[in-house]
Every structure is written in C-alpha cells, then in structure tokens.
C-alpha cells in the first residue's frame, strides 16, 4: 500500500451525478451511449450440470485438491486448475477434459525455471498455453499446451530485490498469439506482452479516478509513512477482456459500463437508470469492523515451507499495525457503487454483477447483455453467483468448498437464452 495525498472530501456530494455531468460534457461526445431498460427482466438461473470434481470423498489422488487459487478454460473446453499457491503451499496445475476426466498435470514447488516458489495467478490462453505468475521468482512461467515448460518471463529489474504481484486479475487475450494478457497497474488497465524474456507493458485504458485519489508514484521511507489512507466504498476499476481484444470496464459509482476497442479507445457506454445507495452511518461502522476483522485474521506463518526471518515478521507486524490505524481513521465515499464486477463469456455476452446491500452475504443480481449491447435480462441474486471462469459453448466453472473445507469444482452450461447470440455491428 502506498501513501497518496488526499485533497478532496466527498462529503454529501452525489458522486454518480457529478460523474454523469462530467462524462456528458467531456468524454461522451465521441462515444455512443446505450440506454438499457430501467426495470429488471428476470431470466432463468437453471444452469445444466456438466460435471463436479473434488471433495474429501474423492477416490482419485489427482482429485484431492488442497486449495483452488485460480482456474481457466482453453478453446477445447479443457479446464486448468491451480491447486495450491501463495507462499505457504506447493502448486500444481491439473487439467481435465470437457467431461471432467483427468488429462494430465504439471508444475511443482522448487527453485528452478518451471518450478514454483509462490504461484499467485494462472492464465490460460485459447490454444492451451498457460502462464503462472510467481511472486518470489519475480517472473512468470510459460508452459505449452502439453504442460511442458517453455520459458521464464522476468520482471524488469527483478535482480534488484523482492518482487510482488502488481497486476491483479490477469486475463488472456483470446485473439492472436499466446503472449498477451490484460491486467491492472493501480487504476490503469494495461496490456502486458509476455513474448520475450522480460515483461513489457503499456497502458491500454486510463479509467476515471476520483478527485484526490491520483497515484503519485512510488516513494521511499519507513513502513508507517507508506501506509495509504483507507477509504470505504471507493468505486473500483472492474474489467474483463472482450473476444475482439478490447475491454469492458466500470470505473465509477454510477451504472456506466464502458466498452473499448483493442486500441483502448472507448466506443460505447452502457447505462441503466439505477442509482447508487447512499452510505449510512451503520454502513460505515460495519465496513470498518469488517476490515479490522479481516486484518486480525491475517497471519504470516511460513515462506516456501520455512519460518520467515525475524526481520520479515517485524516488518509485517509494523505494516499490520499501520493498516489497522488507517482503518480506524478511514474515510468514506457518499455512495455504494452500483457495479461490483464485470465479466464476459467466450461469445461476448456481458455479465454485470450489481452490488448487494452492504452487510448481506449473498452477492448481487447479475445483468446479462448480448454482444450487440441488447439487455437480455437479470439473474436473481445468487442464482447463480458470478462464475469463477468462463469457457467456450457457454461453460462456466464455480469453486466452492464442502463441509470439510475441501475444494469442489462444479462446471455447468449456461441456459440457451443467455448464451446463443449472433454477432452484428450496431
């Protein structure tokens, strides 16, 4: 977390209204605004079961998962599962076919190329090539479609010191060769080239940033001086990659879904007249306590199977204390953002998850929008929740746990009503 100066308090300002005015006068003149209906049209949440693997009762050794950290499909419908990961466990990649039958697995803990020290993310390209982000290696492992190690792509300046994962939510680009991923660096959406021995990236889209929340870059100093101020209900940048190579994203409290082409130029903005919820004092108290509880449960136990050195523990504890103090003094935006997540299916259907009421456990409803920006309907809250991975032919995968906290992976097929659309231009 980095400290950034804050100059503007949101107070009682309606962030969504300010954004709409700003967008209308500055940004949207060259973009097509698509106004979707304001009333929800329910669609069926009846997803057909294709297969289920995992659980404490699994007989095959390959099916006994410790934790599914990430997963993804290739164009043939094979599912790749990252079992284990992080700094506390070994990692393997398990591959199953479209019926859930075991194909092969690859990867293991170790110090060398193709061996994982702290696997954090898995990317699966359409042709079956995979990328594994490795935090302690400060690099990315690339494997071919057979699971054979192909190359290591290192972070720039990796030899200078400890590296961390800086690009959350990496997504594969499904067109072209197997070397490009889309991710985030701060609020920027970036295109990352993994074709050579060193990572190169460029900014694809620069989303809207709330006033006073600009990133002023890296700084040096004591840990306590680098702790960022904490804000509640800040509109996050949520995104996914379109089949065309462009991106779909949300960056504000309003219901304004932006569509870019592969160059990053925003061409469409999809809107629904759904206003953000006002943040109440009860919401502020609950959010503050939730973050404090989350922090209290965070621990460092081992690093690559070894006890962390005293200086690492001391640094971690200081960071924990600084973060807790920041949460105690956190500030809040005036509204709860309408959009919680945005994903796309392989056929280009948009899944737009709306925020649930703060304090509720069930996720919000999901709006389904066809590739030609036509509103199809809304899946009710939790029926189903947002899939953890999307595959070809309407396949979706969910990771859950059984009564013994053992991972279970369920693959289903989306109903025809929300998967069969023909592409055409507007």
For tokens 């592969």, name the residue. 262
Instruction: Inform me whether the pLDDT recorded for 232 exceeds 80.
Output: yes
Contacting residues for 235 by C-beta, under 8 A, at least 6 apart: 15, 210, 250, 251, 252, 253, 333, 337
30-39: average pLDDT = 93
Asked if 295 and 320 count as a contact pair (C-beta separation under 8 A), the reply is: yes
- Residue 82, sorted as left (phi over 0), alpha (psi -120 to 50) or beta, turns out to be beta
| pLDDT of the residue at 305 | 53
| pLDDT of the residue at 226 | 62
SS3 of 113-164: the string is CCEECCEEEEEECCCCCEEEEECCCCEEEEECCCCCEEEEEECCCHHHCCCC
- Residue-wise pLDDT for 366-384, tens only, equals 999 999 999 999 999 988 9
Q: Between the CA of residue 307 and those of 310, 380, 386, what are the distances in Å?
A: 9, 46, 37
145 in a domain, yes or no? Answer: yes
Question: Domain tally for the chain?
Answer: 1
426 in a domain, yes or no? Answer: no
Instruction: Inform me whether the pLDDT recorded for 72 exceeds 90.
Output: yes
Q: Between the CA of residue 401 and those of 64, 89, 407, what are the distances in Å?
A: 12, 18, 4
6 in a domain, yes or no? Answer: no
Rounded to two decimals, what is the model's pTM?
A: 0.85
| pLDDT of the residue at 310 | 78
9 in a domain, yes or no? Answer: no
CATH number at residue 71: 2.120.10.30
Q: In this predicted model, which residue has the larger pLDDT, 296 or 352?
A: 352
10 in a domain, yes or no? Answer: no
- Residue-wise pLDDT for 392-407, tens only, equals 999 999 999 988 889 9
| pLDDT of the residue at 112 | 87
8 in a domain, yes or no? Answer: no
| pLDDT of the residue at 297 | 81
- Structural domain containing residue 21: 15-418
Instruction: Inform me whether the pLDDT recorded for 254 exceeds 60.
Output: yes
- Residue-wise pLDDT for 104-134, tens only, equals 999 998 888 899 988 999 999 999 999 999 9
> What six digits make up the tokens of 218?
């890296």
95-104: average pLDDT = 98
3 in a domain, yes or no? Answer: no
User: Of 143, 96, 101, which Cα lies nearest the Cα of 119?
Assistant: 143
């Amino acid at each position: 977390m980095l400290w950034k100066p804050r100059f503007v308090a949101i107070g009682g300002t309606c962030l969504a209204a300010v954004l709409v005015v700003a967008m209308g006068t500055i940004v949207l003149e060259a973009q097509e605004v698509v106004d979707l209906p304001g009333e929800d049209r329910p669609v069926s949440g009846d997803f057909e079961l294709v297969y289920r693997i995992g659980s404490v009762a699994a007989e095959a050794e390959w099916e006994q998962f410790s934790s599914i950290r990430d997963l993804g499909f290739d164009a043939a419908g094979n599912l790749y599962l990252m079992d284990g990961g992080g700094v506390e466990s070994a990692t393997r990649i398990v591959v199953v076919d479209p019926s859930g039958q075991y194909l092969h697995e690859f990867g293991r803990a170790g110090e060398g190329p193709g061996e994982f020290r702290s696997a954090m993310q898995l990317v699966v390209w359409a042709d079956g090539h995979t990328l594994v982000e490795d935090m302690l290696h400060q690099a990315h492992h690339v494997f071919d479609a057979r699971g054979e190690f192909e190359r290591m792509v290192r972070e720039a300046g990796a030899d200078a010191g400890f590296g961390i994962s800086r690009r959350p939510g990496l997504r594969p680009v499904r067109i072209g060769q197997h070397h490009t991923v889309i991710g985030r660096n701060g609020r920027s959406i970036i295109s990352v080239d993994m074709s050579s021995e060193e990572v190169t990236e460029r900014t694809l889209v620069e989303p809207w940033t709330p006033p006073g929340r600009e990133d002023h870059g890296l700084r040096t100093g004591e840990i306590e001086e680098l702790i960022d101020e904490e804000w509640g209900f800040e509109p996050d940048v949520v995104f996914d990659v379109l089949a065309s190579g462009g991106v779909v994203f949300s960056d504000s409290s309003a219901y304004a879904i932006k569509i870019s082409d592969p160059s990053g130029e925003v061409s469409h903005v999809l809107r629904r007249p759904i206003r953000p919820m006002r943040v109440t004092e009860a919401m502020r108290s609950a959010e503050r306590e939730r973050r404090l509880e989350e922090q209290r449960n965070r621990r460092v136990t081992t690093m690559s199977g070894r006890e962390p050195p005293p200086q690492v523990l001391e640094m971690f504890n200081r960071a924990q204390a600084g973060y807790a103090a920041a949460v105690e003094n956190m500030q809040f935006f005036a509204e709860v953002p309408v959009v919680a997540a945005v994903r796309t299916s392989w056929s280009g259907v948009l899944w737009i998850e709306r925020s649930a009421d703060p304090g509720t456990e069930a996720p919000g409803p999901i709006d389904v929008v066809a590739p030609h920006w036509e509103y199809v309907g809304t899946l009710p809250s939790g029926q189903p929740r947002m899939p953890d991975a999307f595959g070809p032919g309407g396949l979706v995968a969910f990771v859950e746990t059984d009564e013994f906290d053992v991972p279970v992976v369920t693959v289903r097929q989306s109903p025809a009503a929300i998967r069969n659309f023909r592409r055409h231009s507007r």
